[in-house]
């Protein structure tokens, strides 16, 4: 497949065409732009969204767009629907901003997956190349093997067992070797941080994008401390619980809330029954179809 142009990242080369994109019904049905379309216009819009995803862009000419939709679509109807798209750097072509963000998400996921696969393959390859050196010529192999087994059995009691899980170090125990890749203390600290982040995630009133959100939660804990973060998130969640059901859909995604440091906001700003129009506009812009 040839290169696909995206407004956000320029030319994006992909080895294969992605057959699908994430479609969020809540975002789509709550989009003011979509709700203002007639039933016929919305049908043409969905048709052009699919074409834009498959081909990277659609023609900006209403007559050509109408022919692409087919089913009796007129150039007048296509003119209205094309206002939902934005100009591409390619002359005479249009792209869709939300679809471009979905493309970037898929590209990032594929790159991370490929990188993880390469690292895993390198580790497996490194392990498979570790071989036992050949026995010296002239040595009785059976006698050598028996001697090796006896030596291992006699020394097994003096060797420390290998643990795959963190093990507490009691007072007076010998410290791990300097070249130990995962000292018990470090493993225990990492586990504790993850548990703290999970406890904060459980309190936040909107569950979306957990993997990315957990990174922001951990950053906030390192900066502010777990007690303060947990206290502020709980206060925010308590405030949101008093909002109307309609207003709760404007709760920010946890990634944005933690990244912007909204836990430092004045709690009085959280005690309200309605969301300001400015926040609704920001929500609609970020989630618009």
* 0.95 surpassed by pTM: no
pLDDT at 68: 93
| Choice among 7-21, 37-51, 109-123, 211-225 with the minimum mean pLDDT | 7-21
pLDDT at 282 over 70: no
* 158-200 tens-digit pLDDT: 444 444 444 444 444 444 444 444 444 444 555 678 888 888 9
Contact 203, 234 (CB under 8 A): yes
Contact 136, 42 (CB under 8 A): no
pLDDT at 180: 44
- Between residues 154 and 173, which one has the greater pLDDT? 154
**DSSP letter for each residue of 175-240:** PPPTT-SS-HHHHHHHHHHHHHHHHHHHHSS----HHHHHHHHHHHHHHH-HHHHHHHHHHHHHHH
pLDDT at 124: 77
Mark residue 56 as left, alpha or beta (left: phi above 0; alpha: psi -120 to 50; beta: remaining). Answer: left
- Between residues 126 and 63, which one has the greater pLDDT? 63
Q: Of 216, 222, 228, which Cα lies nearest the Cα of 267?
A: 228
pLDDT at 176: 44
* 59-103 tens-digit pLDDT: 999 999 999 999 899 999 999 999 999 998 889 999 999 898 888
In order of 48, 98, 224, 266, the CA distances from 263 in angstroms are 41, 28, 10, 8
Two structure tokens written together for 33 = 């732009």
């Amino acid at each position: 497949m040839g290169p696909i142009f995206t407004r956000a990242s320029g030319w994006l080369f992909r080895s294969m065409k992605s057959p699908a994109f994430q479609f969020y019904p809540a975002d789509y049905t709550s989009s003011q732009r979509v709700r203002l379309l007639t039933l016929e216009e919305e049908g043409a819009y969905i048709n052009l969204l699919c074409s834009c995803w498959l081909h990277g862009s659609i023609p900006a000419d209403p007559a050509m767009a109408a022919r692409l939709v087919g089913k009796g679509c007129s150039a007048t109807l296509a003119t209205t629907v094309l206002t939902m798209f934005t100009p591409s750097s390619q002359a005479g072509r249009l792209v869709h901003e939300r679809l471009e963000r979905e493309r970037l998400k898929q590209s990032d996921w594929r790159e991370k997956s490929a990188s993880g696969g390469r690292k895993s393959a390198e580790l497996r390859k490194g392990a498979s190349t570790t071989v036992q050196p050949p026995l010296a010529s002239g040595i009785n192999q059976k006698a050598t093997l028996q001697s090796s087994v006896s030596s291992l059995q006699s020394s097994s009691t003096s060797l420390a067992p290998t643990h795959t899980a963190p093990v507490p170090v009691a007072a007076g125990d010998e410290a791990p070797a300097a070249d130990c890749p995962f000292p018990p203390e470090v493993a225990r600290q990492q586990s504790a941080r993850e548990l703290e982040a999970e406890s904060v995630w459980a309190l936040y009133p909107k569950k979306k994008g957990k993997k990315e959100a957990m990174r922001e939660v951990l950053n906030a804990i390192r900066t502010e401390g777990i007690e303060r973060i947990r206290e502020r998130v709980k206060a925010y969640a308590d405030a949101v619980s008093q909002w109307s059901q309609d207003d709760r859909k404007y709760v920010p995604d946890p990634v944005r809330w933690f990244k912007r440091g909204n836990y430092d906001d004045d709690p009085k700003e959280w005690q309200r029954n309605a969301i300001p129009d400015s926040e609704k506009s920001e929500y609609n812009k970020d989630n618009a179809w």
